[in-house]
Amino acid sequence: MKKRIFTALIVFVVMFIIFSIRKQPDNNIYSGYQKNEGTVFGTFYHISYEADNDYHNDIKELLKQFDNSLSTFNKKSVISRINLNDDTVVPDLWFNYVFNLSKDINIKTDGAFDITVAPLVNLWGFGYEKASSVTESAIDSIKDFVGSDKVWIDNEKVTKADFRVKLDASAIAKGYASDVVAQFLKDKNIENYMVEIGGEVALSGVNSKGKCWQIGINKPLEDAGASQGEIQEILSMCEGALATSGNYRNFYYKDGKRYAHTIDPRSGYPIEHSLLSASVIAPECIMADAYATSFMVLGLERSLEIVENTPEIEAYFISSGSDQSYNITMSSGFDKYLLK
């Protein structure tokens, strides 16, 4: 484990992709790169890939189809119909993959990742439904029908132990969408690409300069809007995926108390510990996304234990320290991704 401490400095992670931070060399042989960008799932996406053809229209259609499967904000999506107990819906391949992986990550993270957390997320005002009155009795009542053991797939249909069980794939869907677009590009025999959706990244090969893709971790000041170009760290990756989860932006205040958007499905309450963000590198972005969310629930110590015992992943954590200091902690294998 490698640890760095930055004192008297507000540090948090903002994922962004460095497309053109240096002048292109005159003899650049990697000039045939397409760059696509737009909005999806309430966030932005940026995609760069080496190809003669521009596949942006195909990618937009693919993301639309993905939205029809896993978006809880789309009332006609597969997951929304399942939440409404529509017994005619047959889960598609995307839903099945997310559902099965979510059950697996749930076990590996002591229940910290739970696709059935939707009722609690909605209760606290971070979900797809309007927030309700948050009381201890309301939380206890909802916990009766939250838990991955309360839902399963039987004969190609989703079966619930309680009709009030509802699913939320928002903590894993952006990462999976990045994988889906990456697979689309692979199917077009594209070897060099970078797909970023809402900060979740899937990539392969090299950028337009013939180098591994460079992914920056920003160091904002008090005014986040003025700090977009200040880089704390640069990662260099030629393969794999990266996802980040954090509580530094999505929160609200009620009765003078700040509530983080990450809900612990086991307790029913927003997390309250020193970990501010977790960035995870994994072979697939769906896995990186799920673990990053789980680590925000588990906190630094247990998360590091899981990372060090899971060979496929590495992680970069930012946690609060004393006297306005912030600690950056990396797993033992993360250092090799830092741009030297």
- Say which CATH number the domain at 291 has: 3.10.520.10
Exposure string for 289-324, b = 16+ CB within 10 A, e = fewer: bbbbbbbbbbbbeebbebbeebeebbbbbbbeeeee
Look at the block and give the residue holding tokens 């760069």.
48
Amino acid at 232: Q
As a whole-number percent, the residues of the chain with pLDDT over 90 amount to 61
Q: Which residue has the higher pLDDT, 233 or 264?
A: 264
| Length of the chain in terms of residues written | 340
- Cα–Cα distance, 207 to 186 (Å, whole number): 15
Mean pLDDT of 62-89: 95
Poorest-pLDDT segment among 182-191, 203-212, 321-330: 321-330
Neighbours of 23 (CB within 10 A): 8
pLDDT at 140 over 60: yes
Residue 233 · residue 220 · CB < 8 Å? no
320 beta partners:
326
- Cα–Cα distance, 89 to 94 (Å, whole number): 14
Q: Which residue has the higher pLDDT, 259 or 37?
A: 37
pLDDT at 153 over 80: yes
pLDDT at 246 over 80: no
* Domain residue limits at 153: 2-337
Q: Which residue has the higher pLDDT, 188 or 275?
A: 188
Q: Count how many Cα atoms sit within 13 Å of the Cα of residue 242 in the half-sphere of its side chain.
A: 29
Give the chain's domain count.
Answer: 1
- Cα–Cα distance, 219 to 221 (Å, whole number): 7
Of 199, 188, 167, the residue nearest 77 (C-alpha): 167
User: pTM for this structure?
Assistant: 0.84
Residue 30 · residue 209 · CB < 8 Å? yes
Question: Predicted confidence band at 12 (pLDDT cuts at 50, 70, 90)?
Answer: very low
Poorest-pLDDT segment among 109-123, 139-153, 178-192, 316-330: 316-330
Q: Which residues lie closer than 8 Å to 24 by C-beta, 6 or more apart?
A: 31, 208, 209
As a whole-number percent, the residues of the chain with pLDDT over 70 amount to 78
Residue 247 · residue 303 · CB < 8 Å? no
- Cα–Cα distance, 117 to 97 (Å, whole number): 18
Of 99, 131, 128, the residue nearest 115 (C-alpha): 99
